[in-house]
Amino acid sequence: MASLLTRSIKFLIGGAFIGVLLLALIGTISGLITDPPKPTAEEELHKHPKELDLASNGPFGKFDLAQLQRGFLVFEKVCASCHSLNLVSFRELGALGYNEAEVKKIAKDWPVKQPVFDEKAGTWGERDNIASDRFPKVYYPATGVPPDLSLITKARHDGAAYVHSLLTGYAEQTPEEIAKFPGAKTPEGSYYNPYFANLNIAMPPPLTADNQVTYSDGTNATVDQMAKDVSAFLVWTAEPTMQTRHQAGLAVVLFLLLATVLAFGAYQTVWRGIKH
Instruction: Select from 99, 150, 111, 104 the least CA-distant residue to 131.
Output: 104
Output the pLDDT for position 38: 66
Nearest in space to 220 (alpha carbons), one of 26, 46, 70, 50: 70
- CA atoms of 39 and 209, how far apart (whole Å): 35
User: Does residue 113 lie in a domain region?
Assistant: no
User: Is 66's pLDDT higher than 70?
Assistant: yes
> Is 83 within any annotated ligand binding site?
yes
Instruction: Please tell me whether 203 is known to bind a ligand.
Output: yes
Q: Is residue 226 marked as binding?
A: no
Give the domain extent around 49: 43-88+143-240
Domain count, the chain: 1
Mean pLDDT of 200-216: 95
Look at residues 180, 202, 204, 213 and name the one whose alpha carbon lies nearest to residue 76: 213
Q: What is the mean pLDDT of residues 39-46?
A: 77
Instruction: Tell whether 196 is covered by a domain.
Output: yes
Q: For 116-161, give the secondary structure using H, E and C.
A: EEECCCCEEEEECCCCCCECCCCCCCCCCCCCCCCCHHHHCCCHHH
SS3 206: coil
Q: Is residue 264 part of a domain?
A: no
Nearest alpha-carbon partner for 73 in 221, 208, 241, 205: 221
- What does the pLDDT average to over 17-41? 68
Give the CATH number, domain containing residue 61: 1.10.760.10
The closest alpha carbon to 209, from 221, 193, 194, belongs to 221
Mean of pLDDT values over 181-192: 82
Report, in angstroms and rounded to the nearest whole number, the Rg of the chain calculated over CA atoms. Answer: 30
What is the distance between the alpha carbons of residues 9 and 210, in angstroms, rounded to a whole number?
Answer: 79
Position 80 scores a pLDDT of 94
What confidence tier does 101 reach under pLDDT thresholds 50, 70, 90?
Answer: very high
**Mean per-residue pLDDT of the chain:** 87
d(Cα 43, Cα 178) in Å, to the nearest integer? 15
| 98 is a domain residue | no
- Residue 187's pLDDT is what? 85
Q: Which residue type, as a one-letter code, is found at position 155?
A: A
Question: Average pLDDT of 201-225?
Answer: 95
Residue 124, beta-bridge partner list: 117
Q: Is 36 a domain residue?
A: no
Is residue 32 included in any domain, yes or no? no
- d(Cα 81, Cα 96) in Å, to the nearest integer? 22
| pLDDT tens readout for residues 236-249 | 999 999 887 877 88
pLDDT surpasses 70 at 276: no
* 28, pLDDT greater than 80: no
| Residue 51 domain flag | yes
Q: Within a domain: residue 203?
A: yes
157 assigned ligand-binding residue:
no
